[in-house]
Amino acid sequence: MIYFALNNDGLIYNLGDHGDWEAANDSSHDLMLEPIWLLDEFEAQNWASFIQEQIKETKQTLETL
């Protein structure tokens, strides 16, 4: 499964394919990251969909004002 790290610098980093959360976390530290949140590919897709939908809804709301 592909894992990502939301780092303390506000950026999201692709950690690559790992067998579990611990391996992904170890990888983040090997990359000298200081993650505040680890997420798997499914959670990342959920975040992306939510953000895209919120942008769309906000733009639609602003157009009606």
Quick one: DSSP state of residue 19?
S
Two tokens, residue 56: 């769309």
As a whole number of Å, the CA-based R_g of the chain is 15
What is the pLDDT, as a whole number, of residue 64? 87
What is the tens place of the pLDDT at every residue in 6-50? 999 999 999 999 999 999 999 999 999 999 999 999 999 999 999
What is the tens place of the pLDDT at every residue in 48-62? 999 999 999 999 999
- 33 φ, ψ to 5°? -90, 160
What is the pLDDT, as a whole number, of residue 35? 97
What is the pLDDT, as a whole number, of residue 65? 82
Cβ pair 36, 19 in contact under 8 A: no
